[in-house]
Structures are given as C-alpha cells and as structure tokens.
Amino acid sequence: MKNKSQTPSAGSLTVCILILVILLSPTVQWLFPVLYDGRLDGYTPPVSGRPASLLTGFLDKTLQPWAEKYYTSRLGFRPFLVRSFNEFLFSVFGESASRTLFMGETNGLFNDQTITSLNNEIILKDQYSEKYAREADNLARASRMLRAMQKHLYVVIASSKGYIYPQALGERYIHGGVKDLFSRMASFSMALKAKGVQVYDTGPVLRDLVASTNLQTHPYSGVHWNFYVGCLIGEALVKNIEALGFAMPTKRCSGFEYTLGKNSTDTDAISLLNLWFENNLIKPSPFPKYSDDSHKQISRGKRARLLFIGDSFSDQIRESYKKTEPFSKIVFSSYFGTRVPEYPVAGDLPSLPNEENIDKIRRQLLDDIIMSDIIFLEMVDYNTYRLGYGFSEYLLNNQSFFGYKTTQPE
C-alpha cells in the first residue's frame, strides 16, 4: 500500500507564516527604518545604539545584550496593539490609558498634575494654607539673610495649563467647578506676599494676558508654557532687577511668530499618548522674535550674576536669556539637586545627582550663592507643595557657612 504524501494544510501554513512574521519583524524594522519601529514612549525602555561593528560586537560580547534588548522591545505586535488601544480610549473618552493626560474642552491636552493640584488646593485648603504659611516664613528669613549679604531672592511661581485655562476642565475635572475658583483655593503666592517675600506669580499675569489678547500661553499638544511666554516672563523678571541698578539689554522680546511643532516643548505631551494619529493634535504655537539690538547694554552698572533654581518650566525662561544675555553668569539647579553652569568655563563642570553626592552639590550651590547677585527660586504651581525643593531649610541650616549670625534680629 502506497504512503500518501503528507501535504501541510492551509491552516498550518498560515500559522507558520504568522510565526515567521512575528519573529522577523524586528529584523525587517531594522533593515528598513522607514517602517514603524515599534518604540513606545513611556512603555519601552530606551535601547542604546547598536555596536558600530557587528563582528567586533560579537567578539567583545556587546552584541548579544544589545540584540536581546532590541528584539524584546520590538518583537511581535505589542506596539501595534498598544497604539490601537490608546487610540480607541482617547477617541472615545479623551483620556490616555494611564489617565495622566486629558483632553480639555478647549486648549488641547492637560496633565493630571495640574488637575490634582487644583483640586488639592480646593479640598485641602486649610492644610495647604498652613504648609504655605510655614514655608513663607522660612523663605522670608532666608530672604533677609541674603539681603544682609547684598543678594536678592525672587520666588517665581510658574503656571501650568490648568491654572490659566480652568474653564477648559470645568466641573468634570475641577471640584465645585470654576466659579470663584481662585478665591476658594490655598495660595502660596498670597502667603509669600504676607511675609514680605519678593514673589512673581505668573498666574494672574497670564490670565489677564489671555483675557485681553487671547494669546495662547501653552501649546495645544504640550503641557509646558510656550517659548514666547517664557520670554515674556523672563523679561518681566529682568525689569524687576533693573531697578537695582544692574545693566540690562536695551531690547529683548520684539514679538512672535506662529510655528508648527518647531520645538519639542510644543509636543511634549503628545508623544506620551502613543497614538496612531498624533499629528491631528499638533497646532501652531507662538515662538519669540528677538530685537536686533538685544546685545546692546545700558551704559550704567554691570550685569548681574544669577543662580536659577527651578523645574522644567524654567527652560523657556533660560532659553530667552541665552538670546538676550541679561546676566554675566548663570548657574542652573534643577530641583535644588543638580548644578549646571549655563556659560561654562574651563574646569566648571556640571554636577548631576545621585544618592551619594547630593549634599556635595548643595555645598557647591552655597558657593554659587556667594558668587551671585540674584537668586531665582522657580516652581510651577503643581510643585509648590514641594516647598521650594528644600532650599530655604538648607540655607537656614547652613547660615554659619556665610558667617551669618543666627542671633541677628529676625
């Protein structure tokens, strides 16, 4: 009896082809980078660049670890399924799968931090007011101490999108709605003013600006303020310092132009959504123009030296200062935990944090205070609960570093 030849069924062939496609997809994506490469912002850990030489990488044993991470992050249809699921949720509910980004009725994307902060300052008003009053007292003491050394402290409260466009969130996201919103909330700015601390609260300024000009302060597809607003705020801070007798540029911001996705800040939120149709959310955003003679200096006085302690909302301000150069020196500290000279000189290297060197970095920043004329302490509204990142407490606990006597009248 003849054996029948075993012919694979159509179903078996389909399964085999599907398995091969899944296994080969990372290689195809590597060979043809025009295809979607499977990366998911916030989902997939970044994979370092592949070895320059595959042969050398194989011999020195760096190829296999890289290939393992590369294939793990791109294998199969997980990226496709994640983006498709996110697209469905966002289209139906206007929220990210992680519930960290929300679509407002107007003005585009809002992050959960601005919503949480608004509600906490309403619901926990008494507790927050007490915390703010204590920190305002510490900052007032620190400010007096700095003034005794001819240093000037300015607290800058940056504004997130929810504090400028609360009506776009409405009752769906804000406890009690937007009626009399800011009179129902705890206010760090008011606590600071009550103690005589120099504070520049950008919230009222920008809300008035929006009401009078309809200027867009935050990108539709981003959660930070745009570069033009950063330039305006930076200019306002410079004008305050000008009264102290320091030389400043004669002209600074001279208008703006609308650009489409020119800066990563304009799209910093949209990348985390991991959608298929992200470009539909990108809209033009104002970008500053600078006057041609911004480099000219007023003849009197000298340019101030600045220590800038802040968060990511300081980026746009400091970017404008790179264009206008109102300060002779800028040292930046992120969250009072890093040290980065903006105008580096030989031997003056950035200091980035780890558990072992945080106190060393702060000691360096004490030296920077001595070498500075102005200290900006910036925090966005949803970071005010962090109470200046520990700056005032650290300064007051190290008064002896400056030879400042704690017995001086407070």
Q: What is the mean pLDDT, run by run of 10 residues, along the chain of 410 residues? A: 60 76 62 54 61 73 72 62 83 84 93 96 97 97 94 97 96 95 96 97 97 94 93 92 80 83 75 79 89 57 91 94 90 94 69 74 93 96 93 92 56
Q: What is the pLDDT of residues 29-79, one digit of tens each?
A: 555 554 455 566 655 555 666 677 767 777 777 777 777 776 666 555 567
pLDDT at 368: 94
pLDDT at 63: 73
pLDDT at 143: 96
Burial of 238 (0-12, 13-18, 19+ CB in 10 A): buried
pLDDT at 103: 93
Which of these, 223, 206, 238, 235, lies nearest to 382 by C-alpha position?
Answer: 223
Which residues, in sequence order, are CB contacts of 122 under 8 Å at separation 6+? 174, 175, 176, 181, 184, 185
pLDDT at 6: 62
pLDDT at 117: 97
pLDDT at 321: 92
Which of these, 265, 264, 263, lies nearest to 225 by C-alpha position?
Answer: 265
pLDDT at 311: 96
pLDDT at 392: 95
What residues form DSSP beta bridges with 307?
331, 375
Parallel/antiparallel/unpaired status of strands 199-201 and 152-158: parallel
pLDDT at 242: 80
